[in-house]
Amino acid sequence: MNAPIVVPALVLSSSAFLLACSIVLTERILRRKQKPDDLIDLINEQLPQTQCAQCGYPGCLPYAKAVAQGENISLCKPGGATTQSALSLLLNRPIEHAYQSDPHPPIARIREADCIGCGLCAAACPVDAIVGAVNYLHSILEVHCTGCELCLPPCPVDCIELIELTNVSGSSTDAVRQTLVR
C-alpha cells in the first residue's frame, strides 16, 4: 500500500474511532442522567405503588419523600416486612421495630342486596379491585384487595364492610386466598 492512500485511511479510521467513542460516552452520560439516582426515586421504587395511604401519607411518593427525611421505614402495610427490609438495606438503617402488621389483613366485601351500582367505590380503589357496570351490582376481587378501606367512605349506602378471612367458612386465610386465586 502506498503512503498517499495509507495516511488518509489512517486519519479516516481514527476519526471514525473517535466518533464512536464520543457517541458511546455521550450515551453513557445521558443514561447516567436518566438513572433514578435521586434518593427519593430509589426509595419510591421499593414501595408497592398501590397508593393506598395506609402509611398515613396520601401515596407512595409522599411516603418516599418522608422516609428520605427520616420517617419510620415500617409504615407501608402492603409492602410489609419485604419493603421494610429493602428500605433498611437501601438506607443502611436498622429495622425500626419488629414488623407489626397483621399477616392476614381483612378484605372488603360488598353486601350485594344493598348495592345501588353507583360506582363510587370503584373510583376510589387504588388497586382496581372493584368491578361492575354503572347501575349494576359491584363486586370486589378479593384476591386483589389490600384492605385499605379507601372504598368505604364514598359508598352512599354504606354497604361495604371489612371481613376477616380467618372467619370465612372457618378456613385459614392462606387457604381462602389460594381458593380466591384459582
Site residues for ligand SF4 per CB under 6 A: 47-48, 50-55, 57, 59-60, 63, 76-79, 108, 110, 115-121, 124-125, 127, 129-130, 138, 140, 145-151, 154-155, 157, 159-160
The least CB distance from residue 24 to ligand SF4, in Å, is 38
Look at residues 25, 66, 24 and name the one whose alpha carbon lies nearest to residue 43: 66
The least CB distance from residue 90 to ligand SF4, in Å, is 14
Tell me if 122 sits within 8 A of 132, measured CB to CB. yes
Q: CA-to-CA distance for 55 and 87, rounded, in angstroms?
A: 14
Between residues 161 and 174, which has the closer beta carbon with respect to ligand SF4? Answer: 161
Q: Sign (positive/negative) of CA torsion 165, 168, 174, 180? A: negative
Burial class from Cβ neighbours inside 10 Å (0-12, 13-18, 19+) for residue 66 reads middle
Residue at 118: amino acid letter = C
Between residues 30 and 134, which has the closer beta carbon with respect to ligand SF4? Answer: 134
The least CB distance from residue 177 to ligand SF4, in Å, is 13
Between residues 66 and 171, which has the closer beta carbon with respect to ligand SF4? Answer: 66
